[in-house]
Amino acid sequence: VKSEGPKLVPFFKATCVYFVLWLPTSSPSWFSALIKCLPIFCLWVFLLAHGINFLVVHRSASRILAGLIFSAVGDAFLIWQEQGYFIHGLLMFAITHILYSSAFGMKPLDLKAGLLMGLVSSSCYAFLYSYLSGPFTYLVAVYIALIGFMGWRAVAGMQLCNDLWTWTKLSACIGAMLFMVSDLTIAVNKFCFPVPYSRVIIMATYYAAQMLIALSAVESRNEEDFRKRN
């Protein structure tokens, strides 16, 4: 963790810039899009700092980087969501969750965790359903299924019950849960009713989630270094 911390300093600074400037959502601009996406750009740099060869050799890391790229595009679309780009942002983040799920892998399967995440996802959709109309009835269902699947793969990979967890697997798990909290807050605030301090909750959990998921990508590098030392 200590070795990765300095590489995350630009991310923390960019996040502080976002919250200090606190650009109003009512006046979208390319500048506000840049400030919102800047922390995610810094996470690109964080992964790239481990070397291009590292990303080529370790597919999970490259998929997480690809997910961060689609996330930044999604963030930009959501700046103009009132101008009709909300669905575009939803699509970008759906692709992000597919990439993250692929990075986390399908082993171990852990059907109990899958059942739990299925119940959580179903409960969230059941709550939102009466507020949805038109294409959002189906689009939100698909999106919740994708993020729920991503959460399942992150939880399953931690292997807490088998005492096989690592800090990077725990990072992925917490990151996935925070991403779900962030997106659920967006959905409730947009489709159901205003959530107090919604923007703080959404962005704080979102940036934390992306940072933790990016951190989980360094696991394969740590294992490689351990083998070299031994």
Which DSSP letter does residue 195 get?
Answer: P
The count of structural domains within the chain is 1
Share of the chain above pLDDT 70, in %: 90
- Over residues 56-69, the pLDDT tens digits come to 999 999 999 999 99
pLDDT at 27: 79
Nearest CA to 212 out of 164, 180, 184 is that of 180
Q: Taking a C-beta distance cutoff of 8 angstroms, is the pair 47, 65 a contact?
A: yes
**pLDDT reading at 184 higher than 50:** yes
Q: Taking a C-beta distance cutoff of 8 angstroms, is the pair 37, 72 a contact?
A: yes
pLDDT at 160: 67
Nearest CA to 68 out of 44, 48, 47 is that of 44
Distance in Å from the first CA to the final CA of the chain: 20
**pLDDT reading at 210 higher than 90:** yes
Nearest CA to 146 out of 99, 185, 105, 213 is that of 99
Helix locations, the chain, DSSP H? 9-21, 30-48, 52-57, 59-79, 86-104, 111-129, 136-158, 167-187, 198-216, 219-229
The Cα–Cα gap between 132 and 125 comes to 10
Rounded to an integer, the average pLDDT of 9-21 is: 95
What is the domain extent for residue 62? Answer: 4-228
- Over residues 84-140, the pLDDT tens digits come to 999 999 999 999 999 999 999 999 999 999 999 999 999 999 999 999 999 999 999
pLDDT at 207: 98
Round the average pLDDT of the chain to a whole number and report it: 91
Q: Which of 27-31, 146-150, 180-184, 188-192 has the lowest mean pLDDT?
A: 27-31
Task: For residue 43, give the amino acid letter.
Answer: L
Phi, psi (rounded to 5 degrees) for 25: -75, -15
Q: What is the DSSP string of 8-28?
A: GHHHHHHHHHHHHH---TTS-
pLDDT at 167: 87
The Cα–Cα gap between 39 and 17 comes to 9
Name 50's Cβ contacts closer than 8 Å, sequence gap at least 6: 61, 218, 221
pLDDT at 130: 97
Q: Taking a C-beta distance cutoff of 8 angstroms, is the pair 208, 172 a contact?
A: no
pLDDT at 5: 85
Rounded to an integer, the average pLDDT of 70-89 is: 95
Identify the residue with better confidence: 226 or 70.
70
Instruction: Provide the 3-class DSSP secondary structure of residue 57.
Output: helix
pLDDT at 26: 59
The Cα–Cα gap between 81 and 124 comes to 22
> Global pTM?
0.93
**pLDDT reading at 230 higher than 60:** no
Task: For residue 153, give the amino acid letter.
Answer: R
Share of the chain above pLDDT 90, in %: 80
Local confidence band at 164 (pLDDT 50, 70, 90 cut-offs) = low
